[in-house]
């Protein structure tokens, strides 16, 4: 099973897979400045809520590593860190992992300064980013194990968008049970919604499952109801952009529709996400900000008229 490295720290740069080039070309990009990382997140070269969190953590380190400061002036360092974190945080509004990672990096800096001063703060921040990456690997693997327990009685799984390895560091969230299943000798057949308008299902989910040797059937979003009616789907599993305190879940446009269709066909519908995707400060889904991207974004299909707003993760 070929496992792609979505995001890695290599030497002194971050290496990502440029996901806008998939599936036609597998292109790696080395990022060594916060401005390039901001663009990479905004333009979806790195995407998927957990991967965005990791990218933001490394991006913040890249932003601060050249910053010259007086080790005694802790306030100046923290002010600069906050300024750069706010800049990165403006790249994508919906993914809570982005804010979670930036907050965690700031908390790490505060703790380090309080205990050891600002002398080695940059090294400490790099370590924290690497720890976030490592924890993501472990978290996704755990999601895979728990999820596989839930799903192992089923054979065919429908998923929407991409919450696979390419949305995280390695195993993914929604697809983690499928990868764990493969390791344990159970091969699921995955139906992937193509996920208009940006086709993350067609370009990314189908690609990564195919790379991993897992059978995948790509369908247009509007076919989901029909394949359910034809008894081709046993269960649905998706990732999440953000989950409110009451469990309300925000995810890629179309997820709500798939959930209604699953209900209409009596199919179980699962959301797979790490704790970092929960936002306990938000009581319910109605107040989660929903990203609506520009009308001119999709170069493949020209729209004759009207809006095509969506959460772009």
Note the residues at the interface with a second copy (CB under 8 A): 23-24, 160, 192-197, 199, 202-203, 206-207, 210, 216-226, 229, 253-254, 256-258, 260-261, 263-264, 300-308, 310
Q: In whole angstroms, how close is the CB of 154 to a second copy at the nearest point?
A: 19
CB-nearer residue toward a second copy: 57 or 228: 228
Closest to a second copy by CB, 137 vs 210, is 210
**263, 299 Cβ separation under 8 angstroms:** no
Nearer to a second copy, 92 or 203 (CB): 203
Q: Is 207 helix (H, G, I), strand (E, B) or coil?
A: helix
Residue 288 and residue 146: Cα distance in Å, rounded?
Answer: 27
Q: Give the DSSP per-residue string, 85-97.
A: HHHHHTS-SS-HH
Least gap, CB of 226 to a second copy (angstroms): 6
For a second copy, give the closer residue by CB, 114 or 301. 301
Of 18, 241, 298, 305, the active-site residue reads: 241
* CB within 8 Å of 137: residues ≥ 6 apart: 169, 170, 171
Under 8 Å CB-to-CB from 128, ≥6 apart: which residues? 57, 104, 105, 108
From the CB of 146, what's the least distance to a second copy, in Å?
Answer: 28
User: CB burial class (10 A; 0-12, 13-18, 19+) of residue 293?
Assistant: middle
Residue 243 φ/ψ, nearest 5 degrees: -125, 125
Task: Look up 241 and say whether it is catalytic.
Answer: yes
Nearer to a second copy, 257 or 268 (CB): 257
Three-state DSSP class for 116?
helix
Q: Measured between alpha carbons, how far is 308 from 198 in angstroms, rounded to an integer?
A: 11
Q: Using CA atoms, how far apart are residues 131 and 104, in angstroms rounded to an integer? A: 11
Question: Shortest gap between Cβ of 174 and a second copy (angstroms)?
Answer: 16
The least distance separating a second copy from the CB of residue 213, rounded to whole angstroms, comes to: 12
Of 153 and 306, nearer to a second copy (C-beta) is 306
Residue 311 has phi, psi (to 5 degrees) of -80, 125
* Least Cβ distance, residue 188 to a second copy (angstroms): 14
**Contact status, residue 191 vs residue 219, Cβ threshold 8 Å:** yes
Pick the closer one to a second copy by CB: 260 or 280.
Answer: 260
Q: Supply the DSSP symbol for 165.
A: G
Provide CB contacts within 8 A for 33, sequence distance 6+.
62, 63
Q: How far is the CB of 147 from a second copy (least distance, A)?
A: 23
Closest CA relative to residue 188, chosen from 198, 196, 179: 179
Give 100's DSSP letter: H
Catalytic residue list: 241
């Amino acid at each position: 099973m070929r496992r792609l490295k979505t995001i890695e720290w290599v030497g002194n740069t971050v290496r990502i897979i440029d996901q806008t080039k998939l599936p036609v070309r597998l292109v790696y990009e080395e990022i060594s400045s916060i401005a390039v990382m901001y663009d990479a997140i905004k333009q979806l070269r790195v995407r998927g809520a957990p991967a965005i969190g990791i990218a933001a953590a490394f991006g913040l380190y890249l932003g601060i590593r050249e910053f010259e400061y007086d080790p005694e002036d802790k306030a100046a360092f923290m002010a600069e860190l906050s300024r750069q974190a706010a800049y990165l945080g403006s790249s994508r509004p919906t993914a809570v992992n982005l804010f979670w990672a930036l907050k965690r990096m700031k908390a790490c800096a505060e703790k380090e300064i309080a205990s050891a001063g600002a002398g080695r703060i940059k090294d400490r921040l790099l370590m924290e980013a690497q720890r976030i990456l490592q924890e993501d690997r472990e978290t996704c693997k755990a999601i895979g194990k728990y999820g596989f327990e839930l799903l192992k009685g089923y054979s065919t799984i429908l998923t929407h968008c991409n919450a696979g390895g390419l949305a995280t560091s390695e195993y993914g969230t929604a697809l983690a049970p499928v990868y764990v299943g493969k390791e344990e000798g159970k091969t699921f057949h995955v139906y992937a919604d193509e996920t208009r308008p940006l086709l993350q299902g067609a370009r990314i989910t189908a690609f990564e499952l195919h790379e991993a040797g897992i059978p995948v059937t790509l369908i247009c979003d509007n076919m989901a109801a029909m394949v359910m009616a034809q008894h081709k789907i046993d269960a649905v599993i998706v990732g999440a952009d953000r989950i409110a305190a009451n469990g309300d879940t925000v995810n890629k446009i179309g997820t709500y529709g798939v959930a209604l269709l699953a209900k209409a066909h009596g199919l179980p519908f699962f959301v797979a996400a790490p704790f970092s995707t929960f936002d306990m400060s938000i009581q319910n889904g109605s107040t989660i900000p929903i990203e609506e991207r520009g009308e001119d974004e999709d170069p493949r299909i020209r729209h004759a008229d009207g809006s095509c707003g969506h959460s772009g993760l």
